[in-house]
Structure 1
Amino acid sequence: MENDVERPYAVLTMDEVKELMKKEISEISEIFLISKSDATVLLMFLRWDSNRVLERLGEDMEKLMTESGLKSVVFDSNQDLSDVSCGICSKIGDGDGLISTPFCSHKLCKTCWSEYLEKNFFSVEKNQTAISCPDQSCRAAVGPDTIEKLTVRDQEMYEKYVLKSYRERCLGWKIKQCPAPGCDYVIEFHLASEDDEHSLNIVCLCGHIFCWRCMLESHRPVTCNNASDWLSRDLMKLIGEVDKPSPLSWIETNTKPCPHCSIPVELDDVHQWNQFLTCACSGRFCWKCFQPPEAHGIYGSCFAPEGLSNVGFSRWSNVGSNPWSNIGFNRWRRAEPEKISCLDLWKASQVSLEEAKSELEAFEESIIKKPSDLKVQDVQVLREGLMLVVQCRQFLKWSCVYDHLHTEYDMAKREYLRFLQENASALVHSFSQSIKEETEAKELTRGKLLSETTNIGNYFYHFIKTLREGLSEVKAKSYDNYGGPYWLCDRCTYGNSWFERACKMCCDPTASIMDELSD
């Protein structure tokens, strides 16, 4: 779906994130010939901004080292340097049992160091990352060279603390945690700019696909603002409209259509005791079988089977229970586009998406629990194919939102869009079946599967491009016979410049706020 372009991101494990952190520390250490411990403290002091650290060290190294606590503190003349007791608990200890930073003489026992560090590591109130000497009057920095003298547990806690500070500083800037529940993978974004909307869709190794910008699930072909509005407002609104009792449902329950003129006749209290209804056209009929009174003999008895009374309604109205509640894209040929709601298509697409995800999870579990005879390359091809099916199903689901936003008032575009969706769904279904057959086969036909993967990827790439261009192949009816420097939006009738590819009003990030204010 990315048209074979190189992905502008990398999916990293926590060990790989740790290596990135160590690389930054080593670069600072090598350039300015300082210890890795001091480089770690400087990076934490300036919140892991490598460029700022390099700039400050280049301008005035002595000043930065002093500010960060990496310069020796002037000893207090009144301090007894021969004192061998802990500065907190006053416990007497030998030279090895009392530890201080390299920059001051405030010595603590290992137990007090552990308590102090644990308090700093897990303190919610602290808004800083660097740790200083436990003595409140001392600004000497506590770095790795001090921590390595403590217990193994303290060293492990400090290492986690440093890694946590690095992740928190970089999260949202150049790396982000995958939002899928239980996923520990981290995404590193390579591009400095996020202008290219293609590059914002992230495929994690766990199978979750999400948008880098808003962290929602991947919502191409609609914008982040449209996706947020759909989930928080439009979708709930449509569900509420479906749940509301419509006038047609009341008509179906409380009236019977006249077999002579098809006008609905209300079942009032009088007709509850009389099986024959009289229409405004003077026609009389039985409310059970819709036959005239003459067809019921002398006593007027009707022996029509139960349930036949609903047949009459279907004879004059096409509105009844929705037969498309479980509609699939491959069944669209059976109904006109205007009779299929975007909500129905959204629900059906969600079901198909969940099935695709389940198939991917089942494949991963089968590989882990019961390794097959497939080669590593074959497993990779099958995995990529199943993940592509998930991406395609997710795109088809969100194309229903595009349908709701951009084709509501233009049936020509809606018909063309649903034609494209139908073809895409059929292609995905065929591709999914091919993967299933190849999985069950004794020997994988890798070339065939790779060819199909490329074909479906190219199809969806051009599908996405077509929607981004606003289905330009279809000429909007509202543009006909309209001159001047503007074109009218099909949905909101706003006049846009011909240089605009999308309606400024519909795509404006503040549009949702304006809609709420106008309600």
Structure 2
Amino acid sequence: MENDVERPYAVLTMDEVKETMKKEISEISEIFLISKSDATVLLMFLRWDSNRVLERLGEDTEKLMTESGLKSVVIDSNQDLSDVSCGICSKIGDGDGDGLISTPFCSHKLCKTCWSEYLEKNFFSVEKNQTAISCPDQSCRAAVGPDTIEKLTVRDQEMYEKYVLKSYRERCLGWKIKQCPAPGCDYVIEFHLASEDDEHSLNIVCLCGHIFCWRCMLESHRPVTCNNASDWLSRDLKKLIGEVDKPSPLSWIETNTKPCPHCSIPVELDDVHQWNQFLTCACSGRFCWKCFQPPEAHGIYGSCFAPEDLSNVGFSRWSNVGSNPWSNIGFNRWRRAEPEKISCLDLWKASQLSLEQAKSELEAFEESIIKKPSDLKEQDVIVLREGLMLVVQCRQFLKWSCVYDYLHTEYDMAKREYLRFLQENASALVHSFSQSIKEETEAKELTRGKLLSETTNIGNYFYHFIKTLREGLSEVKAKSYDNYGGPYWLCDRCTYGNSWLERACKMCCDPTASSTDELSD
């Protein structure tokens, strides 16, 4: 749905993040002719803001070095320089003081064991917040940098390296680098734009296959906003599910009545039908409770040979809506049904199943490539993988377009009909593309021209689809506009005349209005 060239972000491994960090350290070191150890301490001291480090070093190098603990500390006149014992545990070193280590800027020596305990405490301390570490002596501000750490054990060096890397990531977190939120994923995303553009920030595609929103870290939820997505997941979706689970009078009617084929009025079932299969309606019409045919159609003896499962049809025989409104090719099972009868919750559930299937197909493809070598070329494998990723993106967009439907078309059936027409065509395109990928995967040689053509078609369609929703389906005007005078549109639900400045019906959305339940009491 968007070209790789246009992506304002890069998906990096932890090794690539480490290389980026080392590059920043090297630049500071080379420009001001200081050691990489000192450059690391300066960057950690100023929260990895390279521009600020360059500015401060250019203004007053000595002052910055002193503040960051990179200048030699004045030795206390009362300090015994001949003391060769550890400053914490008083362990005695050898005659030359070997085994006791201090920073290059002070004379406070510690044994390796005490250094390890001190560093481990700082590495995992919540309060430290990944800043530069100073000398263990509380009265000393000398910085502990890589040049000190390299004298310690390998374990200490590895812990320090992770600490510095975490410091770099934490500083960049939120504005430049973010961890992919998918469980078990080690990839990080580096954002290249100075400001978060609405379009790009809503669709980040990680190499693990997860698609998420840069700003709120939820799964990608185009075409709705972060607030809309959050409200839907935390409030609206639960509300709709609760309404579905709530007992309804219709459920009793469907269970205990049969619809008269003459007038459609429900006729209650009682013990009579156990002895007489024919029901008599208030309209005087008589019909068989099994096949809904008149008594005359059953011959002299009135025997009915209709299947038993027809006896449970109830009012569903008039329903145009299937239990799963989204079939594999989109909306074909309910394309002739009235849009207001198709619940957004049903569409959401069906599209979620389609999305999970698309993800499963992508995972199966990845596993097949790893376990079983294919006759396809490496470039062909890349094309197929990108195609499967495109299917996942499209399915995810269609899923969240159901939320757009719920939020923006409830009071305008003309827009709802048009939106579902767009959804149906989009779903059909995605299904056709998915089938083409499946066929090409099983073939020995990839037909790139066909896949590229279908990819272009899907890309163009979804580009205009997204653009249409972003503009609020402005191409559609309210049904009643042509038949109503003045600058108003009529609500399809309550027929209230609303100003064109109102996006939702003012009467239906009025919090002071009585609910249907209250009016029925």
TM-score tier, shorter chain, comes to 0.7 to 0.9
Structure 2 distance, partners of 1:36, 1:8, is: 30
**Cα distance in 1 between the residues matched to 2:19 and 2:234:** 39
CA pair 513-69 structure 1, distance change in 2 beyond 3 A: farther
Q: In structure 2, the residue corresponding to 1:475 is in which secondary structure? A: coil
* SS of equivalent residue, structure 1 residue 285: strand
Higher mean alpha-carbon deviation, 286-295 vs 324-333, is at 286-295
1:330–1:425 contact (8 Å) kept in structure 2? no
- In 2, Cα distance between the equivalents of 1:470 and 1:289? 47
Structure-2 separation of matches of 1:88 and 1:504: 74
How far residue 339 of structure 1 moved from its aligned partner, in angstroms, is 2.4
Alpha-carbon displacement from aligned partner over 1:438-497 (angstroms, at most 9, x marks no partner): 111111122332232222222211211122122222222365577888989989999999
Query: Is residue 212–residue 220 contact of structure 2 (8 Å, CA) maintained in 1?
Result: yes
- Compared CA separation, residues 268 and 61, structure 1 to 2 (3 A): same
Q: Report SS of the residue matched to 2:261.
A: coil
- Equivalent-residue separation in structure 1 for 2:516 and 2:97 (angstroms): 71
Q: Secondary structure at the match of 1:176?
A: strand
User: Is the 8 Å Cα contact of residues 406 and 490 (structure 1) preserved in structure 2?
Assistant: no
CA-CA distance at 1:437 after TM superposition: 1.3
Q: Whole-Å Cα distance in 1 between the matches of residues 517 and 151 of structure 2?
A: 62
Q: Which moved more, 1:186-195 or 1:499-508?
A: 499-508
**Do the aligned partners of 2:258 and 2:268 also contact (CA within 8 Å) in 1?**
yes
Offset of 1:389 from its aligned partner?
1.0
Measure how far apart 1:147 and its partner are: 0.8
Q: CA deviation at 1:33?
A: 2.4
**How big is the shift at 1:268?**
6.9
Shift of the 507–129 alpha-carbon distance from structure 1 to 2, 3 Å rule, reads farther
Q: State whether residues 13 and 185 of structure 1, in contact with CA within 8 Å, keep that contact through their aligned partners in structure 2.
A: yes
| Bigger relative CO (Cα 8 Å, ≥ 6 apart) | 1
Q: Tell me the number of residue pairs that the alignment of Structure 1 and Structure 2 aligns.
A: 519
Aligned to 1:345: 347
Contact persistence 1:225–1:509 (CA under 8 A): no
With over 3 angstroms needed to count, the CA separation of the structure-2 counterparts of 1:473 and 1:54, relative to structure 1, is same
Preserved contact between residue 329 and residue 345 of structure 1 (Cα < 8 Å):
no
Structure 1 Cα separation of the partners of residues 108 and 139 of structure 2: 10
Which deviates more from structure 2 when the two are superposed, residues 231-240 or residues 315-324? 315-324
CA distance in 1, matches of 2:67, 2:512: 44
Contact kept? 2:100, 2:109, Cα under 8 Å: yes
User: Cα 1:313–1:423, aligned 2, differ >3 Å: closer, same or farther?
Assistant: closer
Aligned pair in 2 of structure 1 residues 433, 150: CA closer, same or farther (>3 Å)? same
Q: Does the C-alpha gap of structure 1 residues 2 and 138 become closer, same or farther in structure 2, counting only changes over 3 Å?
A: same
User: Which moved further from structure 2: 396-405 or 266-275?
Assistant: 266-275
Structure 1 stretch 261-270 or stretch 441-450: which is displaced more? 261-270
Shift of 1:359: 1.2
Conserved? CA contact 1:284–1:293, under 8 Å: yes
Q: Which has the higher mean CA deviation after the structures are superposed, 441-450 or 38-47?
A: 441-450
- Please give the per-residue CA displacement for 1:135-168, whole angstroms capped at 9, x wherever unaligned: 1111111011111111222111111110011111
Residue range with higher mean Cα deviation, 259-268 or 156-165:
259-268
Where does structure 1 lack aligned partners over 5 or more consecutive residues? none
Check whether the contact 1:131–1:142 (CA below 8 A) recurs between aligned residues.
yes
User: For the Cα contact (< 8 Å) 2:149–2:160, is it kept in 1?
Assistant: yes
Deviation at 1:26, TM superposition (A): 1.7
Q: How do 1:158-237 residues align onto structure 2 when only pairs under 5 Å count? A: 158-237=160-239
After the TM superposition, which of the residue ranges 70-79 and 4-13 deviates more from structure 2?
4-13
Alignment of 1:329-344 (within 5 A): 329-344=331-346
Q: Specify whether residues 72 and 438 from structure 1 end up closer, same or farther in structure 2 by C-alpha distance, changes over 3 A only.
A: same
| Structure 2 contact 324–346 (Cα < 8 Å) conserved | no
CA deviations 1:336-379 (Å, max 9, x no partner) are 32222211111111111111111111111121222223222111
334-343 or 385-394, larger mean C-alpha shift: 334-343
Quick one: distance in 2 between partners of 1:394 and 1:251?
A: 37
**Partners in 1 of 2:142 and 2:260 — Cα distance?**
94
Q: CA deviation at 1:507?
A: 14
Structure 1 contact 256–266 (Cα < 8 Å) conserved: yes
CA distance in 2, matches of 1:154, 1:21: 20
Identity among equivalent pairs (%): 97
Pick closer, same or farther for the CA change 1:495–1:184 going to 2, 3 Å: farther
Please give the alpha-carbon distance, in whole angstroms, between the structure 2 residues aligned to 1:144 and 1:191.
32
* SS of residue matched to 1:71: coil
**Corresponding residue SS for 1:271:** helix
CA offset at residue 506 of structure 1? 13
The answer to which of 252-261 and 341-350 deviates more is 252-261
Shift of 1:265: 3.9
Q: Say whether the 8 Å CA contact 1:486–1:498 is kept in structure 2.
A: yes
- The alignment partner of 2:190 has SS state of strand
Q: Secondary structure at the match of 2:136?
A: coil
Write the distance in 2 (CA, Å) between the matches of 1:407 and 1:128: 49
The CA distance in 1 between the partners of 2:260 and 2:332, in whole Å, is: 37
Cα 1:5/1:268, change in 2 over 3 Å: same
Partner Cα distance (2:353, 2:269) in 1: 41
**CA 1:337–1:46: 2 relative to 1, 3 Å:** same
Cα deviation for residue 261 of structure 1 reads 4.5
Alignment of 1:100-499 (within 5 A): 100-258=102-260, 261-266=263-268, 280-281=282-283, 306-307=308-309, 309-311=311-313, 313=315, 328-477=330-479, 480=482
Measure the CA separation in 1 of the matches of 2:90 and 2:511. 62
Measure how far apart 1:435 and its partner are.
1.1
Q: How many Å separate the matches in 2 of 1:135 and 1:518?
A: 77
TM-score by length of 1: 0.86
Alignment check: 8 A CA contact 1:207 1:387 kept? yes
CA-CA distance at 1:95 after TM superposition: 2.6
CA deviation profile, 1:92-142 (whole Å, cap 9, x unmatched): 164331110011100011111111111111122334511010111111110
Q: TM-score, normalised by structure 2?
A: 0.85
Query: What CA distance in whole angstroms lies between the structure 1 residues aligned with 2:476 and 2:466?
Result: 16
Aligned residues of 1:248 and 1:319 also touching (Cα < 8 A): no
Q: 1:222 to 1:273 in 2, by over 3 A?
A: same
Asked if structure 1 preserves the Cα contact closer than 8 Å seen for 2:84 and 2:97, the reply is yes
- Structure 2: runs of 5 or more not aligned: none
Please identify, of 352-361 and 509-518, the stretch whose mean Cα deviation from structure 2 is larger: 509-518
CA spacing shift, 1:10–1:101, aligned 2, 3 Å: same
Distance 2:215 2:508 in 1: 20
> Which segment drifts farther, 436-445 or 26-35?
26-35
* Distance (whole Å) between structure 1 residues aligned to residue 517 and residue 178 of structure 2: 32
CA distance in 2, matches of 1:195, 1:508: 34
1:188-221 deviation per Cα after TM superposition (whole angstroms, max 9, x unaligned): 0000111342453111111111111111111111
My pick for the range that moved more, 294-303 or 412-421, is 294-303
d(CA) in 1 for partners of 2:461 and 2:481? 29
Q: What's the secondary structure of 1:502's corresponding residue?
A: coil
**Partner of 2:134: helix, strand, or coil?**
coil
Deviation of 1:90 (Å): 0.9
Q: Secondary structure at the match of 2:38?
A: helix
Q: Which deviates further from its counterpart, 208-217 or 90-99?
A: 90-99
Contact 1:43–1:50, Cα closer than 8 Å, also in 2: yes
SS of structure 1 residue aligned to 2:133: coil
Work out whether residues 8 and 191 of structure 1, in 8 Å CA contact, stay in contact via their aligned partners in 2. yes
Quickly say closer, same or farther: Cα 1:388–1:320, change in 2 above 3 A: closer
User: 1:29-67: per-residue Cα shift (whole Å, max 9, x none)?
Assistant: 223222211111111112112222223223332222212
- Secondary structure class of the residue paired with 1:432: helix
- In 2, are the aligned partners of 1:257 and 1:316 still within 8 Å (CA)? no
